[in-house]
Structure 1
């Protein structure tokens, strides 16, 4: 295989991995943590801004709703917004955890409008949106437009409420009665007798008031940080019995947990409720000291209800942290076919979620010693997985270990006919240990890496390269 054919194989392998990595990113995008990165329009503040957006970008929005499968609703949405204030449009807040059927977006605000389905709002603060409802063919469609980006979304589709039928009561009929009264002489007709009309109040139609649905979402968020030990009260036991009376008094305790970032202060408040029970703690004065004793006495004990109040300080509440980070590697590679290399790479890391990230690195492997091999230029693409440590009684933290898999290009000016010097596409695997820092912050780690050519798997013991080094993340 000549050098040009090997380069084509390398490019094809890199393109296949890049496409698969992109698929992972799209799948993970079902949780929306920030808005404004991929806007359809500029931020909106009033209904007039919303009306102007529907007029200026009607073609793009119609194409996006057609891709979402709701093209028949576009004229109704456009007419509903145009007829405001005769129609209802409200500003509501969606709490984290709110489900959305689909949402329109434009990648980085450019190009054609696309559709993201089954979206969940996962930000750290409520999402403010314009919300309105449209009824069609027995279904009620609830639409939302975030104020920060103008991305039209379908929140949900439910059966429309059945209309209330108004039953009108017929008015009483006025009857005319003629009485014939026999009297001497000619027949006399008495004037008509009128039956009074009675008005009966009829209940009016039922009025439905649209109210925003507020869902309380409770999430347990793991906070990285050191292990926290809560001090316990030391109780000394004395054998002599003591008779006491009166209620038990418990002093509330304040427990402060220290974490790295963000700084979270948890205040544990104890609410005391007296209930029947056998034990309590008292202080008994002695001649030269105060002895703390636990005794059994008749009377109430307590039920403690703990209320945890979290105070987030600093910039921890910000939801606009960049997913990109700079990476720098320095290390050493060893080739069994008598070659040693000094490794150096620079690149970027894109954080898909706290567990997965994508690394793109470029650099070189400079030959230090040996009878084989040649200097090489490196272009590596990898997916990194951060392990998570299970929760315990003292909280939960990230594991320091991570794993990476990917492919790369090993490009040299050596002889193509010499396996240890030719250019090729490599498979890459590595495992690392973070020596300080966390996956979401600046860190340093040591790693062990092995790489082998895609066409040299059978000769891995000769031409494979293994080594390690330091990785710095900024």
Structure 2
């Protein structure tokens, strides 16, 4: 909470700079130094600003606590140009809040309890929307496009004067079709035995009055006489295999003979003969204190399974899964390349993401009475890519480059063998380092090394 209060004070201080727009006592003396859009001249320019900057304005109204009014403001600007007027605000005019962008760049922010203190009137587009019995009056300065809420209050009650109903009599005229004389045309049925034939019959029928031609095609009923045989019997098809020449089968009677090799070996010392049936290879393992064992291959497969949390405004959770390769440049330093995904598991904001991470890992030593041995702790630092299909204007859904830091503890194994470890990870976008508390992601998981 203290950090958010300091951030709000810093924003007001930025607006109060001489090259800015607002003095330290929330008195706005000039406009145009921290604009949301280019200067506006007509209502059509206001509509264009709402079309291009709609997502940013919606984000700013959400920060101001009036997110539910954005659809009404958007619809009013798009459809009710006749109810948008250009008004001059005199010095001393109070404004509940105003949106701005620091030096015209970055995310839209909110300045509250602003008073216009310029030397001349402030020209604005003014309009009002109503919701739940309250009227909200909005203003958009022509010089900068910074949407502002001037004031809000109870909506005025409209008195509807009832007028006596006017009775109107409507003459009803119906046109009733009168059918002509009924003509009965006998249906002609032709039976063809060989195949069906559809013939078009045109008959001229004498009727009282004008001659009527009946040209409707008549489909003839077809009757075919089919001789039905007795019950059908299915005879299985006989399959005959022809062999050109017989296959000769050879049986080997002789069994393989296993020979035992006997060698005479001269042994230094007293004269004696030793018979060795087979060579014996003895594996010698020598442990050298103070040096880590070298693995056979510097490459190892890595699998991560974990969880990330992003505070933002509604606490977003992600399930993290990555696969990759580790290259051990030395017993202490190794390089990791990981690829995978972060599936959103809760929260209204955020979006599923594909991650591509590159890390440098350092494995710690610890000193003991027997010399240097491996410590179970390791640390990592690197960069990564967080790629989504979300809205680019929303910081919790956009894609970008991340800075990554890790700290881990091996449960068993060492840097030269298969191991299982737990790790803590924190990551944040490079363009959101000043908002770590809100948009930084932190979590942990298990790391399997093969």
Decide: shared fold, TM above 0.5: no
Could you say which structure has the greater relative contact order, defined with CA pairs below 8 angstroms and 6 or more residues apart? 1
Instruction: Tell me the TM-score normalized by structure 2.
Output: 0.35
Instruction: Tell me the TM-score normalized by structure 1.
Output: 0.33
